[in-house]
Amino acid sequence: MSEQIDELMRNNRWVYWINEADRRPDGTCRVSIVIENQSGHFPTGENGKEPWYWGKETCKLKNAERGFDEMTAYKIVSSSMFKEHKPKPGRALRVKS
């Protein structure tokens, strides 16, 4: 990973994430790192290194080893997806029915 990503990982909460929609024939998915409140994700296997491929249970286990239950990991991943769409402080988020 780049020095910038390493720095973000040292100073922020982060979890492993897999995109289950991008499943390989053996049932595994490429692993990414998701950093809380940082847009996007960082796939493993950059800079000439082989990517990691895990199943859903391995991903949950690895996050648990880092101290993150499934709900906390979900919240960290969500913070990276919706960072630009968060309401301003003091404003309610409107949900269409």
Q: Would you state the pLDDT for residue 96?
A: 46
Q: Is residue 96 part of a domain?
A: no
Q: Is residue 92 part of a domain?
A: no
Provide the b/e sequence for 70-84 (b: ≥16 CB within 10 Å).
Answer: eebbeebbebbeeee
Residue found by looking up tokens 């249970």 in the block: 57
| Mean pLDDT value across residues 31-49 | 88
Number of structural domains the chain divides into: 1
| Mean pLDDT value across residues 12-22 | 91
Q: Is residue 66 part of a domain?
A: yes
| Mean pLDDT value across residues 26-51 | 89
What's the rounded Cα separation, in Å, for the pair 63 and 1?
18
What's the rounded Cα separation, in Å, for the pair 42 and 35?
9
Q: Is residue 12 part of a domain?
A: yes
Q: Is residue 28 part of a domain?
A: yes
- Residue 97: CA count within 13 A, CB half-sphere: 0
Residue 16's domain comprises 3-83
Q: Is residue 54 part of a domain?
A: yes
Q: Is residue 24 part of a domain?
A: yes
| Mean pLDDT value across residues 77-83 | 83
Q: Is residue 56 part of a domain?
A: yes
Q: Would you state the pLDDT for residue 83?
A: 59
